[in-house]
Each structure stands twice: as structure tokens, then as C-alpha cells.
Structure 1
Amino acid sequence: MNPPLLRLCLCYAVLSLLWVLLGESLLHRLIADPQHSIFWQLAKGAFFVILTSVLMYRLGQHYQNRLAAQQLARRADESSLRQAAAVFDSTQEGVLVTDPQQHIVHVNPAFSRITGYAAEEVLGQTPKLFASGKHDAAFYQTMWHDLHKDGIWSGEIWNRRRSGEVYPQWQNLRSIRDEQGHVSHYVAVFSDLSALKRSRDELDRLAHYDPLVGLPNRLLFSERAKQDLDRARNAKRTGALLLIDLDHFKDINESLGHSVGDALLQAVATRLVTHLQDGMTLARIGGDEFAMLCENYSTDQAAALAVRILEHLSQPYHL
């Protein structure tokens, strides 16, 4: 049903009825001579035709203007929808749309690339399909509370890919409401943080670990030594610090080459690692210098450990 056209027809019907019902009686009152009644009847009909034609033209023109404006607005909406669809499909962030009951109704290509799920595998499912198990119920309760209260939630969350891999993502949730203020959809936009996490871990490892032997470097060892010293002072207990230096290591580098020297350092580190126990930290703090921090160690224990290390390091190296 077309409401503007219906209103136009009703206006014409009302006007016609009023003219038929009132025009004849008004004409008889104004014209006393019956001989002129035919002329005035024709004049009345012609006037009604002209009046209704003008009115119909104006109403039709108004209707056409409104129709043109609606078509223009519809074309603008369609253009906006096409642009939004292009952004939706080409964005590198994953997008997931659900209905108010949290059933998935739409996903974009980036979603499939990040999660490994094809669109047909998740449509009709709920986001619980991706739960990693790393978050408790309180986490999700807080998330939904903020979403219902503010209409938006952002934060880091761990989800599970189709392969079973658990990965971190930064997720933005938003609730979409209709004209009556009721939630019509939920939209989740997320990005994969796996590469960023790996980069951070790699930077942290480069900053705190020796790249040749894979042991903590001087910086990390100094931090751990300070922490252990504070704990020992507070608990009034003892500990031991062993400094291990390779004699004549410079001769190895100069006579056999740095590659052999590096292999020797790696072999020494491998032997030292076999002496590690709980509460110990082993680090390479210099070119041919190693250090071993031993919590809760007495003097006798430290001396016995030093003897075992010397005996082990004195065995021949096959490089």
C-alpha cells in the first residue's frame, strides 16, 4: 500500500462528495431563474473540473517531488551500503555480526583468515565456539555488564582458532539498537595480536638473553641477583654466587678462529646447565665469563658444587 497515493485519492473523494452534496443546493439558492440553470450547471461542472485538475496537479507534483527525494535518498543509502560492504570485505580486521540472541549472522573474509573458520561453518553458531578456556565466568560477566551499560567494550581476549591454537586478540564489541532502542545486533571487530606478542617476546629475549648460548645475560642476571639478595636479607638466609671464567680463551679464538670459540662457549654452557637445580640462575655475563646464583646454599654446598663444575669442565671438548 502506498500511503501518499491513498491520501491523494481520499482528498479527491472528499472534495467530490462535498461538491456533489453542497453544490446543487447552493446553486438553487443563488439562481432564481430556471432558464439559466443549465448554464450554471455547466459552469459548475467546468469549475469543478478545473479546480480538481489544478488540485490533482499540485498534489501529483508534491507526490512526485517526495518520490524523487525518496529515490535520491535510497540511492545515497545504497551507495553508502556498497561503500560499507567494500570496507567490511577488505578490512584486515576480523568482523563478526550476531543477532540479539548471539547467533552469528555475518562474518567478513578477514574473520576466516584469522580464525580458520569458513563463513558457512559459523553462521548460526554462537561466539562460544571460539572460547579458549583461559577466561573465567567473571571475565565474561564484566564484559557483558560493560556492553549493556555503555554499549561498547574493548579489551584483550584469548580465543581459539579452528586448528585448536589459542591466540590473543584485541576486540571491540558494540551493540546496535533499532528505532525503538532495542538491541538488533552485536558487532565484534578484532585484530590478531599473535605477531605483536611474538615480537614483544623476541625483543624481551634479545634484551635479557645471550643470543649465542641462550642463557640470561648480565642485565637479567643482575636483576635476579638483586631480588635474591633482598629476599635473603629479609629471610636472614644464606646464598652463593659462583663466577666461572675460562682461562686462555683468547688463545682459542686467535689460533682456531671465532667459530670454534663460539662452539666451545656453547659446549661449556651445555655442561653448566646440567648442574642447575631449583632456585639457581645461570648466566653469561661476559665474553668467556659465566655466573651461577644459588639460593639457600651454604658455604659447604657451594664449595662442593664448585668442585663438581671444575671436574666436569675439565673433560675434553670435541668440536
Structure 2
Amino acid sequence: MGPSASWKIALAYAAFSLAWILASDRLFLLLFPVAEELTRWQTGKGLVFVLLSSTLVYLLAQRWEASQRQASQALAASERRFRALVENSRELIFVLDNAGRIVYASPNVGQVLGYDPLGYTQAPIFALDFLHPEDRIYAEAVLEDLRRHPEAVREYSFRLLDAWGQVRQVRVWGRNLLGDPAMEGIVLNVRDESELEEERARLQGLLEALPGRVFQARVPEGADPAWLPLLYASPQGERLLGYAPQELAQDPEAFYSKVHPEDRGKAQEE
């Protein structure tokens, strides 16, 4: 029961009691001047007071219990929705204490990484223990960075080791909520990007196997892609033309600047 509810019940009971005592005493003195008769009525008044005050307390308690029951049902429904969302997601949620120990892990940790999501309840588990050894020092610096910047959101990339010993490439969004009484921890949202990295590597291999050269540029509506900075230039171009991919990617006019002056007009028309 919260302080506000307690005060409301106490004040309601005090107001009712005070009004009953003052009003009934004055009324009975006027109606029953004889002491013996007044005593009988005072006793009856006391019994009625007990009955009415008990009824009042009962009604107030029932109202409080109903509000608590509704709040509990709303919380349970919210927890079920949250669990349904995270269990069917590839994005993991961890909460760490100030020392880096896991104090919460979303249920889908078992599905995605193969670890027991309740393992932290059986023995202390440090989040850094799951990092690839080569990323451990970087991760320690990241944890310290989060400690130093409360409330700020930071984004990082790591390699994790899953329960089967495989390396997982993950992207992590961290936020220090140690000072928030509702959380009191460092919240990590972890997205497994291993499949994306594998697809990117396969695509890279296909592009590099093509006999010609591949360019990529982000083209706003109405813009000429040939005059935009390159986002990607396949590496076999260096073998074909002698220009490094980095050199072309840094030149906003990379395409036309390498076309023979006599052919630029024709290339622009096409």
C-alpha cells in the first residue's frame, strides 16, 4: 500500500470518527438528560460506531485491494507481452551491475547463443567472459566508457563466443542506468549480425569474382550517380585499371575523371 493510499484511509477514518463523536455526544446530552438513560444510549452509540467504522474500513480496504489487483494484472500482462516479444527476437537484452556481472538476461539468449538465460541466478557471471579473447581489452574499455557516461547511449561492435564455440559478430547498444531506481544497471541491447556478415562476405566474393568492375553510390532522386562519391569500388579494378579502390572512393568525380577527355561528353550523354 503506497503512502498516499494509507493517508487517505487514515484521514477518512479520523474524519468519520471525529464527526461521529462530536455530533452524537451533543445530540445525546440534549435528548437524554437523565444519566442512566444517557448511559444506555451511549453504549448503543458505541456499538453502532464500531459497526459503521468497521464497514468503512472494510470498504476502503476492498477498494485498495481492487486497485492492487488491477495493477498486478496489468503488470503480468505487460510481462507476458515483453516475454513474447523478446522470445521471438534475435536481439538480446542484458542488464549488468556496476562490476559487469549479469543481473538479467532475456529468455532468447538460450535460442540465439545456447546459454542458460537463468545461469546468472546460480553463480556470478561476468559479461566480459563471453567476449572473443582478442576483443576483451576493447570490451573492458567500453564498459568503463559506459560507467563514465550515465544515461548516454553508446554503440559498439564485438565478437562473442556462443555455447558451441562459434564466433558471433554482434552490434551492441549500451546505456548506463545505474542511477535509475527502476533499473539500477547497465542495459545492453545485443544484435547478432553473424548471418549478415556471412552474407556480406559471400557477396564480396561474388563481386570480386566478376570479370568487370563494380561501383556503388547512394543516389538521391534526380542526381547523376556518376558525380557522386562512391560507397564501394570492387578491388579487381586495381588489377584491371591500376587504381586502388580507396583512391576512387575518395574522389567524388571518380568515374568521369578517369574517362578519356575525348570520350567524356559521350559518357555523360549515356
TM-score normalised to structure 2 length: 0.60
Distance 1:77 1:55 in 2: 33
Comparing 94-103 with 198-207, greater Cα deviation is found at 94-103
- Count of residues paired in the alignment: 213
Distance 1:150 1:2 in 2: 28
Distance 2:69 2:193 in 1: 44
Instruction: Write out aligned runs for 1:20-31 (5 A).
Output: none
* Identical amino acids, percent of aligned pairs: 16
Select the residue among 59, 68, 71 that pairs with 1:70. 68
Give the match's secondary structure for 1:168: strand
Instruction: Write out aligned runs for 1:1-319 (5 A).
Output: 4=6, 36-119=34-117, 124-135=124-135, 137=137, 140-142=140-142, 144-146=144-146, 148-176=149-177, 180=181, 184-210=184-210, 217-219=211-213, 220-224=235-239, 225-227=241-243
Instruction: Give the C-alpha shift of residue 134 in structure 1.
Output: 3.2
Kindly indicate whether the alpha-carbon contact (under 8 Å) linking 1:96 and 1:189 is maintained by their aligned counterparts in 2: yes
Distance 2:96 2:202 in 1: 37
Gaps (5+ residues) in structure 1?
211-216, 232-319
TM-score normalised to structure 1 length: 0.52
Give the match's secondary structure for 1:158: strand
- Give the residue type in structure 2 aligned to 1:226: G
Distance 2:53 2:118 in 1: 56
The alignment yields a C-alpha RMSD, in angstroms, of 4.2
CA offset digits 1:29-64 (Å, max 9, x no partner): 87996xx21112222333343344334323331221
- Give the residue type in structure 2 aligned to 1:185: G
Kindly indicate whether the alpha-carbon contact (under 8 Å) linking 2:28 and 2:38 is maintained by their aligned counterparts in 1: no
Is the alpha carbon distance of 1:51 and 1:87 closer, same or farther for their aligned partners in structure 2, counting shifts above 3 Å? Answer: same
Gaps (5+ residues) in structure 2?
214-234, 248-270
Distance 1:31 1:162 in 2: 86
Is the alpha carbon distance of 1:176 and 1:86 closer, same or farther for their aligned partners in structure 2, counting shifts above 3 Å? Answer: farther
- Residue equivalent to 2:231: none
Instruction: Give the C-alpha shift of residue 65 in structure 1.
Output: 1.0
Is the alpha carbon distance of 1:2 and 1:43 closer, same or farther for their aligned partners in structure 2, counting shifts above 3 Å? Answer: farther
Give the match's secondary structure for 2:77: helix
Give the match's secondary structure for 1:187: strand
Kindly indicate whether the alpha-carbon contact (under 8 Å) linking 2:83 and 2:107 is maintained by their aligned counterparts in 1: no
- Give the residue type in structure 1 aligned to 2:242: K
- Larger Cα Rg: Structure 1 or Structure 2? 1
Kindly indicate whether the alpha-carbon contact (under 8 Å) linking 1:143 and 1:153 is maintained by their aligned counterparts in 2: no
CA offset digits 1:278-319 (Å, max 9, x no partner): xxxxxxxxxxxxxxxxxxxxxxxxxxxxxxxxxxxxxxxxxx
Comparing 64-73 with 110-119, greater Cα deviation is found at 110-119
